[in-house]
Structure 1
């Protein structure tokens, strides 16, 4: 058996020993029903499920008890005692009792010898022990990867690590015992997975990719950006004007008489080209030609997923092709879902984003009836969207679109792609509260942010910037602000509120609704890539509870290694994306 080295912790070894003890106890119970000694019982193979268990459990026990001995400062364990199941049980229970008395901080991270399972008869290799290790098992249930993945994440194995997994769940499931997981050696070469257990046949080559990718989530990076916004066409123009403090909110009074009676007569519009370009009135077409002139593709073209469908057809993209429809969280959900497709091995490259074109009297009227829009700034549109400001009163509807190109890290590196940032975490939640309003405590927002950081394996204290949802509503901004401070001022967070960097770019571009999460993801990525915090324009006065650094009116140069972006929508849907410097 080859040996490998890793850093063990008291908690991890205790968990392993307790699972092992449960297996041994179960074996003893079954032996007792036959009036047999457990060793005789196993050797007689009266217990079908334990045919391979004799060798397997002894190997596991040697691993776990060696870990325990090392953590307890002992030189070795009595392997002779492990020659019987009774001795093995005693050694396990003794190790548990001893470890439970140990101060974890005094031994946390000590180097420990771990025995690794052979990779098959005649196929043993010394595996790399650089980082993390994985879990072990009898091969009956080699493909119960969801259980294994959950254990790995619980034990802190970071995303992107390729690992050897063979869950012990089939036998344990029958006995109602939790899956046994012992840290084993990290495998960086797929062929090492072929002989993951001495009790199983080699895994066919065609199955290797799925096993490797399911065993450890792949890393996802951003290699492309695109934007059309009220600040301009293209990423560079939009970003430059954002940093310079420009605003894309304008009056819509001149768009026709139907806008004149609306409470809110301003919106954030994408700059128009020539009025001679395009120009089509559906009502004129119908009245002149009748319903027979309606295109056979009229209905398909109305479908939400046709945007993704057209891109797929135009470029021949045959990977996952779907559309999220989650109100103002749509863009963020699209990017987050796409990242998971890549992380899970369903695609190597994904184009993801969001778009909105909704400047219409019905839309402005509907949001006005919800009392969601700012209505006191019709004569000074550029002052209307003022996130976190004392005088904020509602959001401004905007139009535009943004996309990102997401790519599996190794795929991007192999083609020499420019990497803007890494998408490390994605968290979602539901408020379970109200159709349009968040809880004042910001519980849903907090949960989404926590889940994104947990997914990213990043502590709150390392977050350098948050691009807030910050729509400029009285309740929404206050709830998000409370949630952000709750998260970042915790035990693993910042020391003071002034260290929390937050801004809302909706002061400059309004609220792009379904496109908001996507364009704000682009801004967060660029904040990392260019080490600058985009400003919150129109932030002139704050109240006492708004005491973070909201980057008021002027961009700030800061080193940004980790950035988060929040998106929240009607129906209580919340999403947070976490990006990091690559």
Structure 2
């Protein structure tokens, strides 16, 4: 029997909101969480509000005490509570799994030991992203598949196929960005991908790079019959996933088309990567060739680039957009050279399918589609 995959839980924390509801409402109010910062490498970043409690988020976990881990756990708890499911029996727990999307837990912990005369034997426990996946599994009471190597939309794709294959009925997918410090900013600035200004201009003629953001997001995927049997609220169905790495434009385009599953699911809304860099031109061409009439939005100009959490946060917002019948606008899009249906103001819609597209700085193209259940 064909196994369908649906979304039953969502969570998010960002520079514009400490909860998913706060982040969504702020997006719809066109708020921007990117603020000036003191750094030799960058002028601005999407910083988490100081009211966020790192200690509270990491209470009763084995996580290293840093911001990325705290954000990751907070978003995961939001999504699990939202899904309203706690596996109780051993047979239920082995069908529940976790996929994480994280960079090293702390850039400070990553670089300092390498130049220190005394090497901390707990070094890898401090920076290893897999520790976060382990704690997420404990919170979700999951004893099934657990992955700590995927990123962004790839992690959603991994969880999607895990359920499709029958290896799990319930998967928690979470991602978190590292704290923005001079180590991270300096490294990425050396790659010439960061903007020297204080705003991201996605798809704009004067775009000159992206801006980092702090945040995390989590999404719960579940087998349809499993969700239906327990009376779960179903936000959307996952229709498909496509991914291509370091290939020609035509193949990146094929990855986007594959994500649609079949012709029945034509996305009316696309939440684009929109990082404000050179790759925006490639992404615009992909969208133009694949779905030229779709409404196009993106959220990085509001909250910054969440790196390993970007694709998950964009998926969360895309799913809410379908449910709320509203598309939050692209901010700071003043003059585009691309002929696409960009959403520049709050837009009501009747679309039933949305696509999320992510690009890893021009090399890795991934896409996931979601649709409302009829």
Which TM-score applies when normalising by structure 2? 0.79
Q: Provide the rounded CA distance (Å) in 2 between the counterparts of 1:222 and 1:370.
A: 36
Q: Provide the rounded CA distance (Å) in 2 between the counterparts of 1:277 and 1:450.
A: 43
Contact persistence 1:385–1:394 (CA under 8 A): yes
Q: Provide the rounded CA distance (Å) in 2 between the counterparts of 1:389 and 1:517.
A: 21
Contact persistence 1:532–1:560 (CA under 8 A): no
1:241 maps to 26
How far is the alpha carbon of 1:252 from its aligned partner? 1.1
- Bigger Rg, which one: 1
Correspondent of 1:394 among 195, 209, 229: 209
Instruction: Say if 1:275 and 1:235 are closer, same or farther in 2 by CA, change over 3 A.
Output: closer
Q: Secondary structure at the match of 2:152?
A: helix
The one-character-per-residue Cα deviations of 1:107-136 (angstroms, maximum 9, x if unpaired) are xxxxxxxxxxxxxxxxxxxxxxxxxxxxxx
Q: Provide the rounded CA distance (Å) in 2 between the counterparts of 1:272 and 1:561.
A: 37
How far is the alpha carbon of 1:272 from its aligned partner? 1.7
How far is the alpha carbon of 1:367 from its aligned partner? 2.0
Q: Does residue 334 of the first structure (1) align with residue 137 of the second (2)? A: no
Q: Provide the rounded CA distance (Å) in 2 between the counterparts of 1:316 and 1:275.
A: 24
Q: Does residue 222 of the first structure (1) align with residue 16 of the second (2)? A: no
2:167 maps to 346
1:272 maps to 50
Q: Does residue 549 of the first structure (1) align with residue 364 of the second (2)? A: no
Q: Provide the rounded CA distance (Å) in 2 between the counterparts of 1:236 and 1:314.
A: 22
1:425 maps to 240
Instruction: Say if 1:403 and 1:469 are closer, same or farther in 2 by CA, change over 3 A.
Output: same
Correspondent of 1:457 among 243, 259, 262: 262
Contact persistence 1:431–1:444 (CA under 8 A): no
1:172 maps to none
1:507 maps to 301
Contact persistence 2:18–2:52 (CA under 8 A): no
Structure number having the greater helix percentage: 1
Q: How does 1:141-290 map to 2 (within 5 A)?
A: 162=1, 216=2, 218-253=3-38, 259=39, 261-262=40-41, 264-273=42-51
Contact persistence 1:352–1:405 (CA under 8 A): yes
How far is the alpha carbon of 1:247 from its aligned partner? 0.6
Q: Secondary structure at the match of 1:250?
A: strand
Structure number having the greater strand percentage: 2
1:319 maps to 144
Q: How does 1:523-562 map to 2 (within 5 A)?
A: 523-543=317-337, 546-552=338-344, 554-562=345-353
Correspondent of 1:483 among 286, 292, 295: 286
1:467 maps to 271
Correspondent of 2:355 among 561, 564, 580: 564
1:446 maps to 253
Instruction: Say if 1:368 and 1:444 are closer, same or farther in 2 by CA, change over 3 A.
Output: farther
Q: What stretches of structure 2 of length at least 5 have no aligned partner? A: 57-64, 67-107
| CA RMSD after TM alignment | 2.6
The one-character-per-residue Cα deviations of 1:303-326 (angstroms, maximum 9, x if unpaired) are 22221111113443111001234x
The one-character-per-residue Cα deviations of 1:133-178 (angstroms, maximum 9, x if unpaired) are xxxxxxxxxxxxxxxxxxxxxxxxxxxxx2xxxxxxxxxxxxxxxx
How far is the alpha carbon of 1:572 from its aligned partner? 2.0
Of 534-543 and 342-351, more deviation after overlay is shown by: 534-543
Q: What stretches of structure 1 of length at least 5 have no aligned partner? A: 1-161, 163-215, 254-258, 433-438, 489-496
Correspondent of 2:129 among 296, 299, 304: 304
Q: Provide the rounded CA distance (Å) in 2 between the counterparts of 1:551 and 1:579.
A: 19
Q: Provide the rounded CA distance (Å) in 2 between the counterparts of 1:444 and 1:276.
A: 42
The one-character-per-residue Cα deviations of 1:429-488 (angstroms, maximum 9, x if unpaired) are 1124xxxxxx6xx434312202212xx22357x311000011011x21111011111112
Instruction: Say if 1:313 and 1:538 are closer, same or farther in 2 by CA, change over 3 A.
Output: same
Contact persistence 1:469–1:568 (CA under 8 A): yes
Q: Provide the rounded CA distance (Å) in 2 between the counterparts of 1:577 and 1:276.
A: 31
Instruction: Say if 1:547 and 1:372 are closer, same or farther in 2 by CA, change over 3 A.
Output: same
The one-character-per-residue Cα deviations of 1:403-431 (angstroms, maximum 9, x if unpaired) are 10111101111111110000110011112
Q: Which has the higher contact order (CA 8 A, sep 6+)?
A: 2
Contact persistence 2:175–2:312 (CA under 8 A): yes
